[in-house]
Structure 1
Amino acid sequence: MTKEKNAGLSVLKADRVYAVLRQRIRDLDLPPGALLKKDELATELGVSRAPISEAIARLTEEGLVDVFPQHGSFVAQIRASDVREGLFIRTGLEVEAWRQAAAIRTPELIVALDENLEGQRQALARGDLTHFYELDEQLHELIFGFIGWSRAMKFLDAVRAQLDRVRRLALPSQGRPEATLAEHARLVEAVRIGDPEFAGASMRAHLNAVAQAVEGQLEHYSANAG
């Protein structure tokens, strides 16, 4: 095998390891404060230590991992400042994205949004919050893809990981999944009728509700972490 092919495989392995670890951190499968044992992770994922180290370095840059020399690498604690920054950025991007989508909607977009919304209803009815959350993310990705904001979507994904972690804590809160579904239904309706102002206002109201739930979880998390 040539050096070029070896290098390409190394990049693919590092990317795969990064994606797996990042998702586990976002899903709280690797909770705040968890020690990342490189040897164990390498064995589990079928790679050498090098891709593990590369992935940890990338996650450290994102603020999802803290490295302490002589002690090891740990999943970062949830930081209120990072979460609030993520909410601020998300509001700025998503309010305008939904406004634009409502202004230039197509029948194909509405069909896709309706299918996603029905999937959310079914997931919630059977108590599958994991799938509900996946569809929640996909709903917003549909909008960014439709208006062609792929770079904005990548940027948003990079800054919202901390928010996603605390949202995992907030979603099971009593009544919150049902409220989220209702808020999503209003967003889809705003696009359906082609009302940018209604879409923007609905998105802002949705994120305000998310922020309230998140603040409550941050207080609870800080009290228990401290």
Structure 2
Amino acid sequence: MSEFSDFTIADRPAVSLQIYQYLKQAIISCKLEPGRAISEKEIASSMDVSRQPVREAFIQLAKCSLVRVYPQRGTYVTQISIKSVLDGQLIRSSIECALMERLTALISAEQLENLTYLLSQQQHAIDTQNYQLFLHQDDAFHQQFALIADCPLAWETIETVKAVMDRVRYLDLTRESTMEQVLSEHRAIIDALANRDVHQAKILLKQHLSDFPQVIKSIQERYPTWFAEQ
């Protein structure tokens, strides 16, 4: 597991949280591919840390359904559950579309400017072909919907369900023109919000979040062993 030798410990947050965040990103980007066995002992040795924070990170990853621990057998990165991804997409779409009513009534010129700034960051990610940065800025854009609507619990809920979706989202970004398409759809949503057109905003957002079945099919054709139906 020498690929983890680039891990460095910062003063904060807790070491276990740093390891969790590092491993989570490695799983989302499929650096740790679905189905792969991972060893608490080997990761601890590679990162030059004790096994306890790695064990704690594994527990958090298991709660997100990103790893599964089999007693006496070991810990494995989970396959991508098609059902879980589609269930997560349904929940996320329902929550975000429900936010549009309040969002279009409350959004200010300053908040629209902030959303537009996030689009410039997404453009930078496209220019540098930085998929991880684009995914981060995509999340920041959608998180603003909940914050502007004064409903932070909505994003907390979405974060919980989208953990199982993020590998598909990341792999989709690696396809040609996907990032450009996402950015274009974000611009259209901002235009609808600026016009306080809640009906159009809901339509655009629902379309924006509705293509997961086609995306899954395309990715599954490339990586069939990475997926599970359930």
Q: Indicate conservation of the 8 Å contact 1:103/1:195, yes or no.
A: no
Say which structure is richer in helix. 1
Q: Which amino acid aligns with 1:64?
A: L
Residues 33, 226 of structure 2: 8 Å contact kept: no
The answer to whether structure 1 residue 49 and structure 2 residue 27 are counterparts is: no
Shift of 1:224: 6.8
Match of 2:185 in 1: 183
The alignment partner of 2:164 has SS state of helix
The Cα of 1:29 is off from its aligned counterpart by 2.3
What is the one-letter code of the residue matched to 1:130? Q
Q: 2:97 aligns to what?
A: 95
Give the share of equivalent positions with the same residue, in percent: 28
Q: For the Cα contact (< 8 Å) 2:80–2:227, is it kept in 1?
A: no
TM superposition shift of 1:30: 1.7
Question: Separation in 1 of the partners of 2:109 and 2:16?
Answer: 40
Match of 1:192 in 2: 194
Matched, 1:159 2:146: no
Question: TM-score, with normalisation over the residues of structure 2?
Answer: 0.84
CA contact (8 A) 1:80 1:218 kept: no
Q: What's the counterpart of residue 79 of structure 1? A: 81
What amino acid does structure 2 have at the position aligned with 1:196?
V
TM-score by length of 1: 0.85
Cα deviation digits, residues 172-203 of structure 1 (max 9, x gap): 22332221111111111111111111111110
- Is contact 1:87–1:211 with CA below 8 Å preserved after alignment? no
The Cα shift of 1:40 comes to 2.6
Per the alignment, do residues 215 and 97 of structure 1 end up closer, same or farther by CA in structure 2, a change over 3 Å counting?
farther
Question: Aligned to 2:130, which of 122, 128, 131?
Answer: 128
CA, structure 1 residues 158+194, in 2 after alignment: closer, same or farther (shift >3 Å)?
same
**One-letter code aligned to 2:24:** R
- Which whole-Å CA distance do the structure 1 matches of 2:198 and 2:104 have between them? 5
Is contact 2:29–2:171 with CA below 8 Å preserved after alignment?
A: no
How much has 1:84 moved relative to structure 2? 0.8
CA positional deviation for 1:217: 2.0
Does residue 146 of structure 2 align to residue 144 of structure 1?
A: yes
CA pair 122-22 structure 1, distance change in 2 beyond 3 A: closer
1:70 partner SS: coil
Q: AA paired with 1:42?
A: A
Q: 1:159 to 1:64 in 2, by over 3 A?
A: same
Letter paired with 2:41: D
**Code of the aligned partner of 2:86:** R
Question: Aligned letter for 1:25?
Answer: I
| Whole-angstrom CA distance in 2 between matches of 1:218 and 1:102 | 37
Counterparts of 1:225 and 1:140 in 2: how far apart (Å)?
Answer: 26
- Equivalence for 1:58: 60
**Partner Cα distance (1:128, 1:62) in 2:** 24
Alignment CA distance shift 1:41-1:223 (3 Å): closer
Cα 1:224/1:154, change in 2 over 3 Å: closer
- Aligned residue identity for 2:60: R
Q: What is the Cα-based RMSD across aligned positions, in Å?
A: 2.3
Range with bigger deviation, 38-47 or 113-122: 38-47
